[in-house]
Amino acid sequence: MTNISTIPEPVPTPTPMTMDEALEWLRLAVDTQGRDFVYNPPGGSFRCFYLPQKYAPKGSPQTRTGCLIGTAMKLAGRAITEDMERNNVLSLADQWNLSEHAALILQRAQQVQDSGSTWGEAWKKAHRRAGEILSWNL
C-alpha cells in the first residue's frame, strides 16, 4: 500500500485534471487502503472528510485516512485545507483545477463512498460514469 504521509507538498498545476487522470488518481487512492476498505461503515457519520480526523471515535476509519476524494487529491498534489471540509467536490473544482468531467467522476465516487460502499465499488461506479460521459460526446 502507498504511504500517503511521504507524498510531497502540492505544487501549482497549469492544466486542469482530465477525466482519465481523475480515474487514475482514484485508483491510486484505493490502493492506499485496499478495494474492500469502507470509509463510512453502517451506522457511521456518512460525512466525508478530506483529511484524517483527530477527534473521530476510536477505531473509526476517519482517523486513519481522509476520504477517497481527499486521498486522491493529496496524491495528485492538490492542496487540501480544513476549511474545505464543508464543501463537496463540485464546489472545489476550480480550487483543485478539475475539468468538468473530472469533477463529475470524483463526485460519483464521493457519493458511492458516502453511502457506505467500499472504495473499490466507488472506483467501479466512477469508471462506469466515465463511460456514460464518453457516450455523451458521440
Q: Which residue has the cell 471540509?
A: 85
Q: Locate 17 and state its grid cell.
A: 485534471
Q: At residue 2, does pLDDT exceed 70? A: no
Confirm if 34 and 2 have CB atoms less than 8 A apart: no
For residue 29, pLDDT over 90 is answered with yes
Say yes or no to pLDDT of 52 above 60: yes
Helices within 12-118 (DSSP H only): 19-33, 61-64, 68-75, 100-114
pLDDT of residue 15: 85
Rounded average pLDDT over 24-47: 85
Q: Which residues contact 131 (CB under 8 A, 6 or more apart)?
A: none
Residue type, 81: T
Q: Are 61 and 37 in contact (CB under 8 A)?
A: yes
Considering only residues 67 and 4, tell me which one the structure prediction assigns the higher pLDDT. Answer: 67
Structure pTM? 0.83
User: pLDDT tens digits, residue range 57-115?
Assistant: 788 888 889 999 999 999 999 988 888 887 889 989 999 999 999 999 999 999 999 88
The whole-chain average pLDDT of the chain stands at 86
Q: Distance between CA 52 and CA 65 in Å, rounded?
A: 5
3-class SS shares of the chain: helix, strand, coil, % to 5 = 50, 5, 45
Show Cβ contacts of residue 65 under 8 Å, excluding neighbours closer than 6 positions: 4, 32, 33, 39, 52, 71
